[in-house]
Amino acid sequence: MFHKEFRAIIFQNVLILCASAVLWKQTTVAATQVTRPRGVSLARASLYSPDADFTCLDGSATFPFRYVNDDYCDCQDGSDEPGTSACPNGSFYCRNLGHEAMIVPSSRVNDGICDCCDAADEYQSGANCVNTCKELGSAAQEEAQRRYELESQGYAIKLEYINKGRQAKLSQQERNMALKAEQVEAEALRAEKEREKHEAEEPERQALDKYRQIEQEAVKEKEEIERSKQETEASKAFDWLDSNQDGKLQVEELQTHVAFDQNQDGTVTVEEAKFFLHNEEEMEKSDFIATGWPLIKPFVMKAQGLENPSQPDQQTGEIPLPDDHQQDESMPETEGEEEEDEEHEEEAEPVKPSPVTPNSVEYDAETQELIEVANKARNSYDEADRRLRDLEREIRQLEESNSKDYGPNEEYQPMDGQCYEYSDREYTYKLCPFDNGSQRPKHGGSETRLGSWDSWDGPAENKYGAMKYDKGVQCWNGPQRSLKVHLSCGMENQLLSVSEPNRCEYEMKFTTPAACGEPKKPDDGDSEIHDEL
Ligand code: MAN
C-alpha cells in the first residue's frame, strides 16, 4: 500500500457508447456519455462525482475526490479504490462490451492474470491480455439461443401437460360426483336387500331347525345301529373263539390261532395269548365285546391280509364266519376296504346349501322352496354389497388422486400412473412418480422399495424442483430407505441418473417438460450489471 504522498490520481473517463446495445434492441435511445472512475459500474457512476468530495459508500468517511483510485485505501468498504488493488475488500467492475459485464475482487486487478474479457483488469501489469468479449459474447449468444429453443419446445409440451392435467382433474371431479350419487343409491339398495335377506332367512331358519332335530335323531339312530353291529361282530367272534363254549375265552383257546403269534415264531405262547386277555387267564364275553375284540380285531384282519379294521356286513352287521379256505382257517373273516369305500361314497351325499349337517336328509318341497328364496336373497344382498364396496373403493382412489399436488397448474398430473427406468451396472431403478421408487438387481433378485411418494421437496424458492419418497424397505442395520428426485426442464420425461450419496439414501435426476419455465428470449448478451446500492 502506498503512502498519501505517493497518491496518484488514477482517473479515467470512460466513454460508454450504448449504440451497439441499442442497435441490438432496435430501440432509438441516443448514445450516452458517462464519465466515471476506473472500475465503477454504470449504475454507480453518479456516486463518483469529480466535482464534489467523495463519501465512502458505507458513509464512514468523506474526503477530496482526488483520493479516489489513488492506490491508497481510505474507505473501510474499499469503495474509494474501485480501480486498483489497494483495498483488500474492494471490487472491480469491467464492462466487457459485447459480452457480460463482470465484477471481480480488487485483488485480481493487475495481478498478471486476465479476468475480464475486455482486459480492463490488467491495465498496468503488462499481461498482454487480448479483448475476447466479442467471441465469448457470440458463443454465449448461441448457447442462450439453443437453450431458448429447447425451453420453448419443452414449455410447449408443458402447456399440453397443463391441459391434460386440468382436464384429468375436472373429469375426476365429475366422476367423483357421479359416483357419490351412485353411492347413495347403492347404499339404499343394499339396505333394502339386507332387509329382504333377513326376511327370507327367518322362515328358512325355522324350517331348517325342524330338520336339524330330525337330523340329530337320525345321527343318534345311526350310531346306535353302528354300536349294535360292532357288538354283533364281537359276539360272533367270541362264540367262535370260545371253542369249548363255556362262555369264557381262555389262553389255550387263543393259542390254537396262529394270528396271535405276535413274534411269528410258529408258536402262540401263553404270554402272547394272555396279552389279548389283558394278562388274565380268561375273559368274560361282556369284557370281550367291550375291550377284547377291539384289541384282537386288527390281528384277525392282518391274518386276512387287510390293512384297516373292517366294518361288519352292512345289512346284517355280521363279520363273516370262518371259512375253510381262509389263510388261517380259524379266523373269522372281517370286511375289506372296498366295501368300506362304497359305503362311504353312499354316505357322502352333499346337501346344498343347507346349514344343516350334510347327510341323507331330504327337504320337503316347501323347505326347499324357502332355501331357494333365501339363497336368492343372499345372492342379491351379496351383489348389492359388492357394488357398494366397489364404488367406495373407486371414490377413495379418486379422492386420493384428487388430493395430490400435481404442481401449480396440474402440469405433473400426466406423470402419475407412468413409470420410468434407469439401469446402472448393478441395478435397474424405477420411478413411478407420485407412487414409489424401487431398485431391482440386474442379475436376479427381488425388487426393493426405495420409498413411497411423500411430498414436494424443492428449496423454498422452487418447491416443485424436487420430490421426496420415503418409508422404503429398512436397510440392514440402518435406516429405512428414502429417495429424493431432482427435476429439471427437458424435452421428455426421462430418468437420467441415480446415485446413493449416503447408504440407503438415493437421489435421482429426472428431466420433464413439466419443469420447464416460460422461455425468455435471450438478449444481445451485452448485459450490464445492476449493482445499485
Ligand atoms: C442393497 C441395496 C444397496 C444398499 C444396501 C444396503 O444392497 O439396496 O443400495 O446400499 O442394500 O445394505
Is 64 part of a structural domain of the chain?
yes
Site residues for ligand 1, CB cut-off 6 Å = 439, 448, 475-476, 500, 503-504
CA of 446 to the centre of ligand 1 (A): 12
CA of 470 to the centre of ligand 1 (A): 15
- Candidates 425, 476, 503: which one to mutate for ligand 1, based on the most atoms within 8 Å of Cβ? 503
**Residue 282 cell numbers, joined:** 380268561
Tell me, yes or no, whether 225 and 322 share the same domain: yes
CA of 505 to the centre of ligand 1 (A): 10
Q: Which atom of ligand 1 is nearest to the CA of 506?
A: 9
User: For residue 524, with 0-12 CB atoms within 10 Å meaning exposed, 13-18 middle and 19 or more buried, which class applies?
Assistant: middle
CA of 481 to the centre of ligand 1 (A): 9
Is 350 part of a structural domain of the chain?
no
Tell me, yes or no, whether 114 and 23 share the same domain: yes
Is 525 part of a structural domain of the chain?
no
pLDDT, tens only, 174-194? 999 999 999 999 999 999 999
**Residue 468 cell numbers, joined:** 421426496
The closest residue, in CA terms, to atom 9 on ligand 1 is 504
Nearest to 470 by CA among 453, 485, 457: 453
Tell me, yes or no, whether 324 and 220 share the same domain: yes
Q: What share of the chain is helix, strand, coil (3-state, %, to 5)?
A: 45, 15, 45
- Candidates 422, 449, 498, 500: which one to mutate for ligand 1, based on the most atoms within 8 Å of Cβ? 500
Q: Which atom of ligand 1 is nearest to the CA of 450?
A: 8
CA of 61 to the centre of ligand 1 (A): 62
Q: Distance between CA atoms of 328 and 473, rounded to whole angstroms?
A: 71
Model's pTM, two decimal places? 0.55
221 SS3 class: helix
| 495 φ, ψ (degrees, to nearest 5) | -85, 110
The closest residue, in CA terms, to atom 2 on ligand 1 is 504
The closest residue, in CA terms, to atom 11 on ligand 1 is 475
What would you report as the CA-atom Rg of the chain, rounded to the nearest whole angstrom? 51
Residue 215: its pLDDT value, please? 85
Q: Which atom of ligand 1 is nearest to the CA of 448?
A: 8
Domain that holds residue 475: 413-515
Give the domain-ending residue among 131, 164, 180. Answer: 131
CA of 458 to the centre of ligand 1 (A): 25
Q: Is the peptide bond before 350 cis (omega within 30 degrees of 0)?
A: no
- Candidates 438, 448, 473, 499: which one to mutate for ligand 1, based on the most atoms within 8 Å of Cβ? 448
CA of 428 to the centre of ligand 1 (A): 13
Give the domain-ending residue among 85, 109, 131. Answer: 131
Residue 349: its pLDDT value, please? 38
CA of 490 to the centre of ligand 1 (A): 30
Terminal alpha carbon distance of the chain? 27
Tell me, yes or no, whether 25 and 117 share the same domain: yes
The closest residue, in CA terms, to atom 3 on ligand 1 is 504
Is 193 part of a structural domain of the chain?
no
Q: Which atom of ligand 1 is nearest to the CA of 473?
A: 8
Read off the CATH number of the domain in which 485 is found. Answer: 2.70.130.10
**Residue 485 cell numbers, joined:** 428426485
Is 45 part of a structural domain of the chain?
yes
CA of 437 to the centre of ligand 1 (A): 14
> Which segments of 323-426 are extended strands (E)?
420-423
What is the domain count for the chain? 3
User: For residue 38, with 0-12 CB atoms within 10 Å meaning exposed, 13-18 middle and 19 or more buried, which class applies?
Assistant: buried
Q: Which atom of ligand 1 is nearest to the CA of 439?
A: 8
Q: Which atom of ligand 1 is nearest to the CA of 476?
A: 12
- Candidates 504, 507, 508: which one to mutate for ligand 1, based on the most atoms within 8 Å of Cβ? 504
CA of 447 to the centre of ligand 1 (A): 12
Is 381 part of a structural domain of the chain?
no
CA of 504 to the centre of ligand 1 (A): 6
How many whole angstroms from its chain centre is CA 445? Answer: 17
Tell me, yes or no, whether 113 and 238 share the same domain: no
Is 345 part of a structural domain of the chain?
no
User: What is the full per-residue pLDDT of the chain (533 aa) written as tens digits?
Assistant: 333 434 433 333 333 333 233 222 222 223 345 689 999 999 999 999 999 999 999 999 999 999 999 999 999 999 999 999 999 999 999 999 999 999 999 999 999 999 999 999 999 999 999 999 999 999 999 998 988 998 899 999 999 999 999 999 999 999 999 999 999 999 999 999 999 999 999 999 999 998 888 888 989 999 999 999 999 999 999 999 999 999 999 999 999 998 899 888 989 999 999 999 999 999 999 999 999 999 999 888 888 775 444 444 444 434 444 443 344 444 555 544 334 443 333 333 333 344 444 455 688 999 999 999 999 999 999 999 999 999 999 999 999 888 999 999 999 999 999 999 999 999 999 999 999 999 999 999 999 999 999 999 999 999 999 999 999 999 998 899 999 999 999 999 999 999 999 999 999 999 999 999 998 888 777 777 776 55
Tell me, yes or no, whether 320 and 440 share the same domain: no
Question: What residues have CB less than 8 Å from 294, skipping those under 6 apart?
Answer: none
> Which segments of 195-300 are extended strands (E)?
248-250, 282-284
Is 380 part of a structural domain of the chain?
no
The closest residue, in CA terms, to atom 4 on ligand 1 is 504
Contact 200, 373 (CB under 8 A): yes
Q: Distance between CA atoms of 62 and 142, rounded to whole angstroms?
A: 46
Give the domain-ending residue among 299, 331, 363. Answer: 331
Amino acid at residue number 483: L
